[in-house]
Structure 1
Amino acid sequence: MSKKNGKPPRILVVDDEPDLRELVELTLLKMGLEVDTASGVDDARQRLDAGGIDLCLTDMRMQDGSGLDVVRHIDTQGYDIPVAVITAYGSLDNAVEALKAGAFDYLAKPVSLEQLRTLVRSALSLDKPRASKAGSEEERAFIGTSPAILQALQLIERLARSQAPVYITGESGSGKERAARLIHAQSSRSALPFVPVNCGAIPENLMESEFFGYKKGAFTGADSERDGFFQAAEGGTLFLDEVADLPLAMQVKLLRVIQEKRVRKLGDAREIPVDVRIICATHQNLAKCVEEGRFRQDLYYRLNVIELKMPALREMREDIGAITEGVLARLAAQNGMPLPKLGADAREALGNYDFPGNVRELENVLERALALCDGRLIRLDDLQLSRTDRDEPVPSAAIGDKYPLQDYLDRLEREAILEALGKTRFNRTQAAKILGVTFRSLRYRMERLDIN
């Protein structure tokens, strides 16, 4: 844990309680670090301005000010110094405020020395070169130069240097999971696991065991001990996709884990500490879910420390051409075929389409076009855009030949499903209601018609 010049990193500990200041100082010294101390906000400002500090740990409440004052001083002066706050138990609203102000992370009193060591190691690894593959999928996940995507990428870069919970919003197919993976790949946790979880796909009666794990004999069928998602993501990032689908009972348990940074397996009497960063996403309006009583307000504020909005594809039309070329090149390479050109009519149609399914829908359209084209040129007909996809209404006769009958019926069924999915922003439950079929029936039909 030494710097490039051979000297150990220097940590500034800010606290007006001598006992706690001494405890933290001794712990850091045993880690081989150099330590400076400050007894208050003014003292801390002077020490920070003198330079040479690699990490700042500050108490939240002090006689001459607040830890937030230290955080803001580091931010306004432009110092590249991670800062973590130590807050009293039950005062986690202050910790959330500090994270929003730019703090790297927080610790709750009474301070766990194990968690303190973990936080310090993580903070000091921010500037180390990451062992990531050049040109990895995460690094090239987003293509484009439009203001919308550039703004998102700039925020992703900032978020990668923090441990604050992130709430990613955006329509279905806009790249929320890819954004979460990119935050993880650019962070100090990049060498550790990234665990994605689809909250809407887990049966309610299995949620607790899936998230927290269980001990052998905890329930009928538990013939061995098993770790949950939190243990699997230890040291890394846990991505909760469609977090709005969590039932209220599970929301209470998740809130406790976020606050305590500890989990208890089913059937176990003891809690174990976990070091996991939480990133969540949903295509729903989480604030509206809170208003409707479907999502806990206190959990919402814990998860929505920093919001990242992923733009819809129609908000970055100038990038559709570049994204199309990138996706085509990747799909052609995956299929071992030469890269075909995109015809002018096909390019124009893609540029004018609103893409309710965003980049995911574009990928599906191009994958289908690769299979249908002659291998040299992708024409408009190869895209098989339905009449709702085009500027001009298409008469029913233009849908295609009505024979063989099954192919004709499949085309009609596909068109109806895509239209319903477009109206509901790819919410399959709502689309099934519009179509008058069960969710299971819709899922079967989508699989049969290869609608992803």
Structure 2
Amino acid sequence: MANVLIIDDDPHIGDLLLVLAKHLGHGGDKALTLKKGIALAREERFDIVFLDVVLPDGNGLDALPELQILKNSPEVVIITGKGDTKGAELAINSGAWDYISKPATAEQYLLHMQRVLQYRTEKQASHPKLGHHNIVGRSKAIMRCMEQAAKAAESHVSVSISGETGTGKELFAKAVHDNSTHRKGPFVAVDCASIPENLVESILFGHKRGAFTSAEESNQGLIAKADGGTLFLDEVGELPLALQKSFLRVLQEHTFRPVGDPKEIKSDFRLVTATNRDLEALVQTGRFRQDLMYRMQAFTIELPPLRQRKEDIPELSRYFLNKLSADSNTAPTPVSNEFLKALEAYSWPGNIRELFNILEQVFATNPEAGEFLPIHLPVRIRIAAAQHSVLPKTDHKPVLTVIQGHKTTKKQLNKEAEISPYKPPLNEDFPPLKEYRDQALDQAEKLYLESLFLHCNGNIKKAAQVSGLSNSRIYALLKKHDIKKTFFSN
């Protein structure tokens, strides 16, 4: 038996949904305010949450992040009388299972309830595990990605992995390969960003001897080498536009012609791609083919940046430091809690790759340390920890909520977005310009976005015109900086 929670200030809606749940053989509870609804949800006994948007004490969409981190991961269905296409898109992008508008008939509510219950039952019955991988972490965000990777491995479709630089895209690609039916075949990785544009076709497709001036002998391309295995195209957004049409045909037919060879060659490979770029934005500017993007994105996995899974930092740090100790045949060095808290206070613009580089530096420069302490960390990390320690402690970070056509509420902006003046360190451990600049730009970007939406009253179209960004790029930046922006059209 499943449990249903209804958070809606209309008591009749709550009563109706409870009757429908009972009709299907399930139980439930209701709340007329967001505060009471969240309190009930924290009991972690509900499978479905029907959530209204406009509530007396807040906006329902602002509660989505907290509902998503609950251990029982309830499915959330947004119900509101203020529905519009943009609101629906925002709800789905924020993790809602579905979005329906009031007034709705009892039959419509019943159909939604039946569908989401069926989906949840099937999801709980099928929990594929991802074996043979080195992915570290137990946060909700990374566990969800591992579940997606396990499902992707069971299928035969193309997989697209997106995420910022250093989030572990190739590691996930390898995990998909190692758990798929292609695991006995080769895993061929291609960094599209590092190949000169005039050589990409020859490297991917291969060439016959004499096909061009420097082709002194025939060469088998990487597509042919991936036969029976997985072809991993890293930074696929850098693939030259002129080559994209030919590669699309390879995906469709799994045949290709090496440069200078009239004969077609077959290659049965599984395609996995990765990118840190917004492919939709590239499509809009004519730098990437839309049909190829759709073909590559049959199954998508979006990896979170490290700043959104900071609870994994202690486990990641111990894992890598223990690995360094094992590689150097030395006993592991204990790690202090203060050391880990200092790591958690930093924003990590370079993500896991930057974390591992820092830990490697700490390990190499402090071989006599009996315990790793904050003093062993680079200055920029210690500065971030010091700044974090003097910030006011709050239970919940303030979010930006703008509602058009109704009473407008503008909550206080996140103080962490303010850029504090930088004080140069007095010792020799001075951060490189690029590292400090990246951190400062990341903070400035977030502050700009929050100010932009206050200026534009939450209007995406106006924000795009003012900022010069595309709608898809704005949505991507909102997600990147974890800015909760809710709006409704007149």
TM-score for the superposition, normalised by structure 1: 0.59
Q: Which residue of 1 aligns with 2:198?
A: 205
Of 327, 334, 341, the residue aligned with 1:334 is 327
Q: Mark the CA change 1:395 to 1:230 in structure 2 (over 3 Å): closer, same or farther.
A: closer
* 8 Å Cα contact 2:230-2:269 kept in structure 1: yes
Q: Which residue of 2 aligns with 1:237?
A: 230
Task: Give the letter aligned to residue 436 of structure 2.
Answer: E
Q: Mark the CA change 1:184 to 1:395 in structure 2 (over 3 Å): closer, same or farther.
A: closer
Matched, 1:379 2:373: yes
Q: Which residue of 1 aligns with 2:274?
A: 281
Q: CA deviation at 1:295?
A: 0.8
Of 425, 432, 435, the residue aligned with 1:415 is 432
* 8 Å Cα contact 2:341-2:385 kept in structure 1: no
Q: Residues of 1 paired with 2:373 and 2:350: CA distance? A: 21
Matched, 1:308 2:325: no
Q: Residues of 1 paired with 2:348 and 2:435: CA distance? A: 11
Q: CA deviation at 1:158?
A: 0.7
* 8 Å Cα contact 1:157-1:183 kept in structure 2: yes
The superposition leaves residues 193-218 of structure 1 with CA deviations (integer Å, 9 ceiling, x where unpaired) of: 00111101011110110000011111
Q: CA deviation at 1:415?
A: 2.7
Partner SS state of residue 425, structure 2: helix
Aligned-pair identity (%): 36
* 8 Å Cα contact 2:339-2:373 kept in structure 1: yes
Q: CA deviation at 1:342?
A: 1.3
Q: Which residue of 2 aligns with 1:222?
A: 215
* 8 Å Cα contact 1:214-1:268 kept in structure 2: yes
Task: Give the letter aligned to residue 280 of structure 1.
Answer: T
Deviation larger for 259-268 or 336-345: 336-345
Q: CA deviation at 1:397?
A: 5.8
* 8 Å Cα contact 2:321-2:332 kept in structure 1: yes
Partner SS state of residue 262, structure 2: coil
Partner SS state of residue 342, structure 1: coil
Task: Give the letter aligned to residue 344 of structure 2.
Answer: G
Task: Give the letter aligned to residue 179 of structure 1.
Answer: F
Partner SS state of residue 368, structure 1: helix
The superposition leaves residues 289-316 of structure 1 with CA deviations (integer Å, 9 ceiling, x where unpaired) of: 1112111111111111111011211222
Partner SS state of residue 331, structure 1: helix
Q: Residues of 2 paired with 1:351 and 1:241: CA distance? A: 28
The superposition leaves residues 355-412 of structure 1 with CA deviations (integer Å, 9 ceiling, x where unpaired) of: 1111111100100000122242112121214166445269746341xxxxxxx4xx54
* 8 Å Cα contact 1:169-1:176 kept in structure 2: yes
Q: Which residue of 2 aligns with 1:83?
A: none
Q: CA deviation at 1:263?
A: 1.1
The superposition leaves residues 141-182 of structure 1 with CA deviations (integer Å, 9 ceiling, x where unpaired) of: 212221111111111111111110011011111110000000
Q: Residues of 2 paired with 1:315 and 1:223: CA distance? A: 51
The superposition leaves residues 188-245 of structure 1 with CA deviations (integer Å, 9 ceiling, x where unpaired) of: 1111100111101011110110000011111112121110110111110011000111
Partner SS state of residue 317, structure 2: helix
Q: Residues of 2 paired with 1:185 and 1:316: CA distance? A: 25
Q: Which residue of 2 aligns with 1:322?
A: 315
Of 391, 398, 411, the residue aligned with 2:425 is 398
Residues paired across the two proteins, number: 288
Q: Residues of 2 paired with 1:397 and 1:352: CA distance? A: 19
Q: Which residue of 1 aligns with 2:25?
A: none
Q: Residues of 2 paired with 1:394 and 1:420: CA distance? A: 13
Partner SS state of residue 325, structure 2: helix
Q: Which residue of 2 aligns with 1:356?
A: 349
Q: Mark the CA change 1:397 to 1:313 in structure 2 (over 3 Å): closer, same or farther.
A: closer
Q: CA deviation at 1:275?
A: 0.4
Q: Mark the CA change 1:155 to 1:397 in structure 2 (over 3 Å): closer, same or farther.
A: closer
The superposition leaves residues 399-449 of structure 1 with CA deviations (integer Å, 9 ceiling, x where unpaired) of: 41xxxxxxx4xx54x431212344678xxxxxxxxxxxxxxxxxxxxxxxx
Partner SS state of residue 378, structure 1: coil
Q: Which residue of 2 aligns with 1:142?
A: 135
Q: Residues of 2 paired with 1:278 and 1:227: CA distance? A: 18
Q: Residues of 2 paired with 1:140 and 1:385: CA distance? A: 33
Partner SS state of residue 213, structure 2: coil
Partner SS state of residue 233, structure 2: strand
RMSD between aligned alpha carbons? Answer: 2.8
* 8 Å Cα contact 1:338-1:375 kept in structure 2: no
Q: CA deviation at 1:139?
A: 2.7
Q: Residues of 1 paired with 2:205 and 2:341: CA distance? A: 50
After TM superposition, list the pairs within 5 Å mapping 1:235-274 onto structure 2: 235-274=228-267
TM-score for the superposition, normalised by structure 2: 0.55
* 8 Å Cα contact 2:322-2:332 kept in structure 1: yes
After TM superposition, list the pairs within 5 Å mapping 1:21-32 onto structure 2: none
Q: Residues of 2 paired with 1:423 and 1:290: CA distance? A: 29
Q: Residues of 1 paired with 2:440 and 2:248: CA distance? A: 33
Q: Residues of 1 paired with 2:275 and 2:331: CA distance? A: 37
Q: Residues of 1 paired with 2:270 and 2:222: CA distance? A: 12
Q: Residues of 1 paired with 2:245 and 2:439: CA distance? A: 33
Deviation larger for 138-147 or 355-364: 138-147
Task: Give the letter aligned to residue 417 of structure 1.
Answer: K
* 8 Å Cα contact 1:160-1:184 kept in structure 2: yes
Unaligned runs of 5+ in 2: 1-117, 123-127, 388-419, 443-490
